[in-house]
């Protein structure tokens, strides 16, 4: 299945053979203090900068009916964000992963994002649309 929207991701997670737990890391775009004038101009034009993790959460697909629900909950829970990175944690033998099972993978996800290793995650913008970097 092609993931063309956040809701496609929810459908896909619900259709997997093993129960899934979705992992979310919310980030904000920032410009480093030592940015060059060219980097500052690109950032003002909506390009470049760094993505800094703000908060993370895990949810089962059943706990999240839509992107709008995620957006509303994230606005209540924390600061404004620009990009949310999503990964899935698969259960086994029909057992759903718990929030405790998700803690270490979420922390590894945060560290990966901090170091720019984002290829294993699906990024979405504030409208729930996938984002392509590069």
pLDDT for res 34: 87
Establish if 131 belongs to a structural domain: no
pLDDT for res 1: 59
Residue 90 has pLDDT above 90, yes or no: yes
Confidence of residue 134 (pLDDT cuts 50, 70, 90): low
For residue 116, CA distances in Å to 12, 24, 100, 109, 128 come to: 26, 16, 25, 10, 21
Establish if 84 belongs to a structural domain: yes
For residue 133, CA distances in Å to 8, 57, 83, 85 come to: 20, 23, 11, 12
Establish if 101 belongs to a structural domain: yes
Establish if 133 belongs to a structural domain: no
Q: Tell me if 64 sits within 8 A of 18, measured CB to CB.
A: no
Determine the Cα–Cα distance for residues 2 and 52; give it in Å rounded to an integer: 27
Q: Tell me if 3 sits within 8 A of 131, measured CB to CB.
A: no
Q: Give the chain's domain count.
A: 1
Establish if 87 belongs to a structural domain: yes
pTM metric for this prediction: 0.91
């Amino acid at each position: 299945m092609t993931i063309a929207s956040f809701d496609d991701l929810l459908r896909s997670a619900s259709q997997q053979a093993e129960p899934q737990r979705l992992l979310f890391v919310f980030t904000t775009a920032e410009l480093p203090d030592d940015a060059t004038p060219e980097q500052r101009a690109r950032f003002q034009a909506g390009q470049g900068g760094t993505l800094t993790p703000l908060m993370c959460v895990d949810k089962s697909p059943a706990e999240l009916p839509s992107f709008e629900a995620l957006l509303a909950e994230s606005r209540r829970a924390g600061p404004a964000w620009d990009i949310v990175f999503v990964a899935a944690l698969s259960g086994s033998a029909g057992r759903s992963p718990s929030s405790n099972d998700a803690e270490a993978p979420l922390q590894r996800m945060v560290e990966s994002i901090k170091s720019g290793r984002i290829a294993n995650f699906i990024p979405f913008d504030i409208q729930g649309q996938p984002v392509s970097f590069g």
